[in-house]
Amino acid sequence: MASAVDDADDAGDALDTEGRQLLYDLVSIPSPSGEEAEAAERLAAFFAEHDREVFVDEVGNVRAPADDSVLLTSHVDTVPGDIPVRVEHDAGDEYSPDGDAVLWGRGSVDATGPLAAMAVAAVETGVSFAGVVGEETDSRGARFLVEDREAPDAVVNGEPSGWDGVTLGYRGFLAGTYVATSESGHTSRPDPNAVEHAMNWWRRVEDSFETEDYEPVFEGVTTKPVRFDGGLSADGLSMEATMDVQFRVPPEMEAADVRERADAELDAGTVHWEEPIPPVMTSPRSEVATAFRGAIRRAGGDPRLLRKTGTADVNLFAAAWDAPMATYGPGDSDLDHAPNERLPLAEFDRAVDVLCAVSERLSDPA
């Protein structure tokens, strides 16, 4: 039987470390993309309290430059969603089998948990830190960061992998907007209108990228329409159709290849493409991956090397910086964006310990 504690003042032993309190505070501050300022202020205050240089840059990133042998970085923003913030002392479930205290709230997994763990580790080890904005939308924080600073010697990007998991690969991302128009006419006419043109194009695109059931999702292109608007124009003289579409691109392909194949299926209308995010697959033998495997083993875990079907800011870092990197953070990614998003606090503590060990190893490889 779970018992919940809704107020931080009454959470008792559950918030018994500075890191846990920082995590609770950040999860308690709503920070959907575009509204990160208050959370960024709390994060910056944490570094200032520890006499670390810290500033919020012109796009809203929280930056605490220091020992650049490693940069710990995660995103401040979350997706929208109101999940009452509370600590539950659970009798145990699949996400907290030992009955640990569990923090519920939007962002506890993606990615405020990794963000807070990295902030604590950066303070304890003296390495560089950046909390970036906009990851859930346009990655404006990461895009600005790679333009505004030199490459660090190594990068650890913060996303949920579980405390004993390290993510080495992400698919790339390509988004576009299909637009078509046609003359208005009676619906009894057989000629296809703009709405049909859009539907037919997307059907051909899906068929073009269809994979066999036995092929891993990570190794294929995922096609997804995310918004559609169509019908008679305001002046009644034409039919219009607009469709926003997204593609996930495996490391074996480039976004340009996907775009070319999608454009080849056009017989009406045009597609306005956005700047793509390239896929990434890093080496399991890099200095960063090796440091994580050793730290996880020393903490009593069996390291898991992961590939994710989505996309993260590490894709942009890998494209811009010639440095070893990996992605890591507490939390089960099955709970990303979910209405039951929650993080066992004991897992958060273990992730902090692993991040500290990795940072120390990378800053003093001897």
Q: Domains in the chain, start-ordered, CATH in brackets?
A: 3-170+279-363 (3.40.630.10), 172-273 (3.30.70.360)
| Token pair in block for residue 227 | 């918004």
The span from the CA of 120 to the CA of 106, in Å, is 20
Residues 360, 361, 364: CA angle, nearest 5 degrees: 80
Q: Is the pLDDT of residue 1 over 50?
A: no
CB 112 within 8 A of CB 15: no
Binding residues, as ranges, are 75, 110, 136, 159, 337
Confidence label for 97 from pLDDT (cuts 50, 70 and 90): low
Sorting pLDDT into bands at 50, 70 and 90, what band is 109? Answer: very high
Of the pLDDT bands very low, low, confident and very high (cuts 50, 70, 90), residue 158 is very high
Burial environment of residue 114 by CB neighbours within 10 A (0 to 12, 13 to 18, 19 or more): buried
Over residues 7-20, the mean pLDDT reads: 74
Evaluate whether 237 touches 184 at the Cβ level (below 8 Å).
Answer: yes
Determine the Cα–Cα distance for residues 344 and 102; give it in Å rounded to an integer: 4
Q: What's the mean per-residue pLDDT of the chain?
A: 92
Output the pLDDT for position 214. Answer: 87
Which among 281, 279, 282 is positioned nearest to 290, based on CA atoms?
Answer: 282
Model pLDDT for residues 332-358, shown as the tens digit of each residue: 999 999 999 999 999 999 999 999 999
CA dist., res. 173 & res. 215, Å (int): 19
Q: Is the pLDDT of residue 4 over 60?
A: no
Alpha carbon distance 201, 195 (integer Å): 10
pLDDT band for position 90 (cuts 50, 70, 90)? low
Confidence of residue 183 (pLDDT cuts 50, 70, 90): confident
Least confident of 30-39, 178-187, 221-230: 178-187
| Each residue's pLDDT tens digit, 48-65 | 999 999 999 999 999 999
Instruction: Provide the residue type at 329 as one letter.
Output: G
CB atoms within 10 A of CB 304: 13
**Which range, 80-89, 161-170, 228-237, 356-365, has the best average confidence (pLDDT)?**
161-170
Using an 8 Å Cβ cutoff, are 24 and 16 in contact?
no
Residue 187 has pLDDT above 90, yes or no: no
For the residues 197-209, what does the mean pLDDT come to? 97
Is residue 288 within 8 A of residue 325, CB to CB? The reply is yes
Active site residues: 77, 135
> What are the tens digits of pLDDT across the range 256-288?
999 999 999 999 999 999 999 999 999 999 999
* Residue list for the binding site for Zn(2+): 75, 110, 136, 159, 337
